[in-house]
Amino acid sequence: MAAPPDNDVLWARALHVRHNGSPALTGVSIGVREGEILAVGGPRGSGKTTLLKCLSGQLVAQEGEVWFDSTPVHTMGTMSRERLRRDRFGWIDPAPVLVPELTAWENAALLLMLRGVSRRRAKTAALEWLDRLDVGGCARRRPYALLQSERQRVAIARALAPEPSVIFADEPTAPLHRADRAQVLRTLTAAARSHGITVVLATHDADTAALADRTVSLLDGRRVNTVHLPPIADPTDPTGPMGPTGSRGSAGANGSAETEGRAACSLSA
């Protein structure tokens, strides 16, 4: 078992994952450099979420290796992986999952308090991150009183507040409209760069991938050289393909735009 290259904070080799017998990842290898913002692109069902789950230790591949900071994650026991995820990693879901009983600032401070940071220090940090994400004014509201886009900003603040080594963001701007998407992504990437946080970002949106330092593409669970996808259309733009007369895609349950997975690609060597 060879250790990964020194300049990769995260590294995976020949990952094979099958969900109920169906292949989700087939021999995927990837290296993520420290402080890098890496986009994992590809159409729906191409394996992006599965890859992020393997890299973050949520899922152990049936075959293959994952290393973080020269430590083999694939051989860790469940408790060690949980500890690693809690102490070093952050995760942003496509739709915000907040604790309904807690206010926005308490949600944003939650991971810090779970790590043993005092309530006062956690609150200060949470309020700073909420401000940076333009939801400082919502700090005392509970999730039910927030817009979906505000909830997602709170969820992003919660992931950033502990300043983890790596943030895994799975379609983090899916619930947002186009203008919001760019602003939130810029905040996320700027915060990551200023704090040296590595970001692994799953997206099927070309505009989102453009903000990354580098993009790797997946198709049908394999690394490919290129995947050309149309940018996600804005459902609020009447002139766009998602507008009133358009027929491409459909609005998801949370109002987000869905794109078809049309891709032109070539298999990598």
Rounded least distance, CB 63 to ligand ATP, Å: 16
Query: Shortest approach of ligand ATP to residue 25 CB, angstroms?
Result: 8
Question: Whose Cβ is closer to ligand ATP: residue 127's or residue 202's?
Answer: 202
Minimum Å gap between C-beta 20 and ligand ATP is 5
Among 50, 107, 173, 259, binds ligand ATP (CB under 6 A): 50
Q: Contact at 8 Å (CB) between 6 and 223?
A: no
Amino acid at position 19, single letter: H
Choosing from 31, 45, 231, 249, the residue that interacts with ligand ATP (CB under 6 A) is 45
Q: Which residues contact 216 (CB under 8 A, 6 or more apart)?
A: 30, 38, 39, 40, 41, 223
Number of residues that bind ligand ATP (CB under 6 A): 14
Yes or no: say if 135 and 154 are a contact pair by the CB < 8 Å rule: yes
Q: Which value, to the nearest 10 degrees, does the dihedral of the CA atoms of residues 92, 58, 200, 261 take?
A: -80
One of 4, 41, 47, 175 touching ligand ATP (CB under 6 A)? 47
Rule CB under 6 A: choose which of 3, 5, 7, 19 binds ligand ATP: 19
* Residue 204 near ligand ATP by CB under 6 A: yes
Q: Which is nearer to ligand ATP, 125 or 265 (CB)?
A: 265
- Tell whether residue 231 is a contact of ligand ATP (CB under 6 A): no
CB of 176 to ligand ATP, least distance (A): 16
Give the nearer residue to ligand ATP in terms of CB position, either 23 or 240: 23
Does 217 bind ligand ATP (CB under 6 A)? Our answer is no
- Asked if residue 175 binds ligand ATP (CB under 6 A), the reply is no
Q: Which x/- pattern, by CB under 6 A, does the window 81-110 give for ligand ATP?
A: ------------------------------
**Residue with Cβ nearer ligand ATP (22 or 247):** 22
Which residues have C-beta within 8 Å of that of residue 190, sequence separation ≥ 6? Answer: none
Q: Which is nearer to ligand ATP, 58 or 124 (CB)?
A: 58
Residue ranges in contact with ligand ATP by CB under 6 A: 19-20, 22, 24, 42, 44-50, 202, 204
